[in-house]
């Protein structure tokens, strides 16, 4: 099957020589081809270039993209889209003056979602989660990382990871699974934290590794959740079971989580709303991708990751949604890109790089995703007719996507 896309107003993120990520000043450059064509063969990008150089080709299907921008789909490297129910009541409680921390301290927050998840059947969780997955695919996401972390029991965590596996089997989008048993301490372990960590390491991890249910390990390293020492212990155990760390750090406090992540060669360190100079320093010249989650800052009214300062210091940045019921009930990467421009002063080029190639790096798939490169998956966004790609962040409340292609197939 050969699909030809012609007359593309502008083809974004063209990388003839593949890169795995872009950092610092490189992020300001978004290579594009104006008036372009693109050929898809066997679900991958086979060729592209300027319309002047369009080769003679017999295509099975031709899409005329006159006036439209084509880009790689978004790579959302941080989500919690497998969950049960919602936390609307906590949202209203926060409007009425309670903080996220106060709500968590009275048994709400992550523990509220864990209670709901453990009371809901695997089939029902699958149904609820697949609706979210389908929604984000139509919003232009072509690869997604999904975490466990609302089970907090061996049964609950395995149930979540099986749902993630089933989603990966049933949908064409690339899905990476992350084990986040260390998301919060269950109530009955409140006075015995070491006991829960022991359960994670000696019971959950071996079972997850045996059944190949996760690619990565995550820990919520934060005051009141997991200390740096506890985070290191869990990362170390995860690594022994073949799971590379991708961890939650510096959301509310800077307590040394970044340094711990770098020490254990984490693929990414995510959140980073609170950054000290030494945190920025620790990330320099490492292979660890800093990931910002601006929709979380927006929804919780907490600071935004200081992306401008970080990029100016030569660091890379990836953008992701953090889609979850408590801090970010949205999986819209278009909104993330817009918010990064509007609130974090990233340029459109930086934000698009952060949401495509750097997002792919932060979930270990930059060899196959995140850019227009021959041989990569034909995962593409075709916009509606627009004046330029600046519209994507500028018209922040509009859906500018006309169609999404995953592995060369148009989503119905
Ligand atoms: O990334 N910070 C930790 N975990 C999630 C929120 C979890 C929740 O509130 O349910 C986050 O923001
Ligand atoms: Fe998160």
- Do both 226 and 110 map to the same domain? yes
Confidence of residue 14 (pLDDT cuts 50, 70, 90): very high
- Do both 112 and 57 map to the same domain? no
Q: Is the pLDDT reported for residue 106 higher than 90?
A: no
- Do both 351 and 377 map to the same domain? no
**Nearest-CA residue for atom 5 of ligand 1:** 327
Centre of ligand 2 from the C-alpha of residue 43, in Å: 31
Q: Does residue 367 fall inside a structural domain?
A: no
Centre of ligand 2 from the C-alpha of residue 218, in Å: 9
Q: Does residue 366 fall inside a structural domain?
A: no
* Percent of the chain clearing pLDDT 70 (strictly above): 100
Taking residues 344-365, report their average pLDDT. 99
CA dihedral sign of residues 266, 280, 223, 324: negative
- Do both 101 and 137 map to the same domain? yes
- Do both 130 and 60 map to the same domain? no
- Of 361, 383, 399, the position where a domain reaches its end is 361
Check residue 313 and give its pLDDT: 98
Centre of ligand 2 from the C-alpha of residue 6, in Å: 39
SS3 string, the chain, reads CEEEEEEEEEEECECCCCCCCCCHHHHHCCCEEEEEEEEEECCEEEEEEEHHHCCCCCCCEEEECCCEEEEECEEECCCCCCCCCCCHHHHHHHHCCCCHHHHHHCCCCHHHHHHHHHHCCHHHHHHHHHHHHHHHHHCCEEEEEEECCCCCCHHHHHHHHHHHHHHHHHCCCEEEEEEEEECCCCHHHCCCHHHHHHHHHHHHHHHHHHCCCCCEEEEEECCCCECHHHHHHHHHHHHHCCCEEEEEECCCCCCCHHHHHHHCCCCEEEECCCCCHHHHHHHCCCCCEEEECHHHHHHHCCCCCCHHHHHHCCCCCEECCCCECCCECCCCHHHHHHHHHHHHCCCHHHHHHHHCHHHHHCCCCCCCCCCECCCCECCEEEEEECCCCCHHHHCCCCCCEEEEEECCEECC
Start-to-end C-alpha separation, the chain: 18
Q: How many domains does the chain have?
A: 2
Taking residues 364-375, report their average pLDDT. 98
- Do both 217 and 357 map to the same domain? yes
- Do both 48 and 96 map to the same domain? no
- Do both 228 and 333 map to the same domain? yes
**Nearest-CA residue for atom 3 of ligand 1:** 220
Taking residues 114-126, report their average pLDDT. 98
- Do both 51 and 162 map to the same domain? no
Q: Does residue 187 fall inside a structural domain?
A: yes
CA dihedral sign of residues 193, 198, 200, 203: negative
**Nearest-CA residue for atom 9 of ligand 1:** 326
- Do both 64 and 82 map to the same domain? no
Q: Residues lining ligand 1, CB < 6 A?
A: 109-110, 113, 220, 248, 251, 296, 322, 324-327
Taking residues 124-134, report their average pLDDT. 98
CATH number at residue 67: 2.30.40.10
State which of 220, 255, 302 you would mutate to test the pocket of ligand 1, scoring each by most atoms of that ligand within 8 A of its C-beta: 220
- Do both 305 and 292 map to the same domain? yes
155 class by beta-carbon count within 10 Å (0-12 exposed, 13-18 middle, 19+ buried): exposed
Q: Which residues surround ligand 2, an ion (CB under 5 A)?
A: 322
Centre of ligand 2 from the C-alpha of residue 54, in Å: 44
CATH number at residue 155: 3.20.20.140
Q: Is the pLDDT reported for residue 327 higher than 90?
A: yes
Check residue 64 and give its pLDDT: 98
Q: Which structural domain, as residue segments, surrounds residue 24?
A: 2-72+372-410
- Do both 354 and 387 map to the same domain? no
Check residue 398 and give its pLDDT: 97
Closest ligand 1 atom number to CA of residue 110: 10
Convert the pLDDT of each residue in 141-197 to its tens digit. Answer: 999 999 999 999 999 999 999 999 999 999 999 999 999 999 999 999 999 999 999
Centre of ligand 2 from the C-alpha of residue 293, in Å: 8
Which ligand lies nearest to the CA atom of residue 147 in the structure?
2
Centre of ligand 1 from the C-alpha of residue 393, in Å: 25
Check residue 107 and give its pLDDT: 86
Q: Does residue 42 fall inside a structural domain?
A: yes
**Nearest-CA residue for atom 1 of ligand 1:** 322
Q: Does residue 237 fall inside a structural domain?
A: yes
Average pLDDT along the chain: 98
């Amino acid at each position: 099957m050969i699909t030809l896309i012609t007359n593309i107003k502008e083809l974004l993120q063209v990388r003839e020589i593949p890169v795995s990520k872009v950092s610092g000043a490189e992020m300001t450059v978004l290579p594009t081809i104006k008036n372009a064509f693109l050929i898809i063969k066997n679900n991958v990008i086979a060729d592209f270039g300027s319309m002047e150089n369009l080769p003679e080709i017999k295509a099975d299907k031709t899409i005329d993209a006159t006036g439209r921008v084509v880009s790689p789909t978004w790579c959302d490297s941080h989500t919690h889209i497998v969950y049960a129910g919602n936390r609307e009541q906590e949202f209203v409680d926060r409007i009425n003056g309670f903080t996220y921390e106060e709500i968590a301290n009275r048994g709400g927050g992550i523990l509220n979602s864990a209670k709901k998840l453990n009371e809901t059947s695997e089939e029902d969780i699958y149904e609820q989660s697949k609706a979210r997955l389908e929604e984000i695919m139509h919003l232009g996401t072509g690869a997604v990382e999904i975490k466990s972390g609302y089970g907090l029991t061996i049964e609950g965590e395995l149930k979540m990871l099986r749902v993630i596996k089933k989603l990966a089997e049933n949908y064409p989008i690339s899905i990476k699974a992350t084990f986040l048993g260390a998301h919060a301490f269950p109530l009955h372990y409140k006075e015995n934290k070491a006991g829960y960590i022991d359960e994670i390491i000696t019971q959950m991890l071996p079972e997850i590794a045996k059944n190949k249910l996760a690619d990565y390990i995550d820990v919520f390293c934060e005051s009141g959740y997991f200390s740096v020492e506890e985070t290191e212990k869990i990362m170390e155990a995860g690594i022994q079971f073949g799971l590379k760390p991708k961890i939650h750090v510096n959301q509310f406090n800077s307590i040394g989580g970044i340094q711990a992540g770098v020490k254990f060669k984490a693929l990414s360190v995510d959140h980073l709303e609170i950054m000290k100079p030494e945190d920025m320093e620790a990330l320099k010249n490492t292979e660890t991708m800093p990931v910002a989650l601006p929709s979380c800052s927006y929804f919780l009214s907490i600071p935004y990751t200081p992306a401008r300062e970080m990029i100016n210091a030569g660091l890379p940045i990836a953008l992701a949604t953090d889609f979850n019921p408590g801090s970010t009930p949205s999986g819209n990467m278009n909104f993330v890109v817009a918010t990064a421009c509007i609130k974090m002063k990233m340029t459109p080029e930086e934000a698009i790089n952060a949401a495509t190639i750097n997002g792919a790096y932060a979930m270990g798939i930059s060899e196959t995703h995140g850019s227009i490169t021959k041989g990569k998956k034909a995962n593409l966004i075709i916009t509606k007719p627009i004046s330029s790609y600046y519209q994507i962040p500028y018209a922040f409340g509009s859906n500018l996507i006309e169609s999404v292609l995953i592995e060369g197939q148009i989503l119905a």
